[in-house]
Amino acid sequence: MALRVRKNKAVIPPACPIDEGVKLLGGAWAPHVIWYLSQQPRRFSELRKDIPRISARVLSARLRDLQDRGVITRTPLLTSPPSAEYSLTELGRELLPALTALVGVALKMQPAAQRKRPVRRPP
């Protein structure tokens, strides 16, 4: 005898807030970019050094994407050669507790030998 499928009683809004929240963090390297901008504004070259495994092309695409979503802002600097500084918006700062929680869980899942590295926490 098969079990009867029960209806889900949770009220699901038309646009799922979980999907929308995950979209803000979606894309390769987006959480890394947000994490490294959590302490202070950074220039493109500084972010490249912070995240050495990311290519310039992918970092550029990720920064544009996060800027389009309202997570970061780009401030052009009047320097020669021209440069820009990236910083978190208020929306971007609201993502930091979620990232901090993810880091906490990841640290708990690591073997004790790997936990010795200090983790820079956002403000």
Give per-residue pLDDT as tens, 31-69: 999 999 999 999 999 999 999 999 999 999 999 999 999
The whole model's pTM is what? 0.76
For residue 17, pLDDT over 60 is answered with yes
In a domain, 104, yes or no: yes
Residue 2 lies inside a defined structural domain of this protein: no
- What does the pLDDT read at residue 116? 61
The residue range of the domain holding 91 is 18-109
Determine the pLDDT at residue 24.
77
Q: Which of residues 81 and 112 earns the better pLDDT score?
A: 81
Confirm whether 39 is domain-assigned: yes
> Which three-class secondary structure string do you get for the chain?
CCCCCCCCCCCCCCCCHHHHHHHHHCCCCHHHHHHHCCCCCEEHHHHHHHCCCCCHHHHHHHHHHHHHCCCEEEEEECCCCCEEEEEECHHHHHCHHHHHHHHHHHHHHCCHHHHHCCCCCCC
User: Is 115 a domain residue?
Assistant: no
Residue 120 maps to a domain: no
Is residue 117, in this structure, part of any structural domain at all?
no
> Does 105 fall in a domain?
yes
Give residue 121's pLDDT band: very low, low, confident or very high (50, 70, 90).
low
Question: In the predicted model, what is the mean pLDDT of residues 104-114?
Answer: 79
Number of domains in the chain: 1
CATH of the domain at 33: 1.10.10.10
On the question of pLDDT at 113 being above 60, the answer is no
Residue 118 lies inside a defined structural domain of this protein:
no
- What is the model's pLDDT at position 70? 94
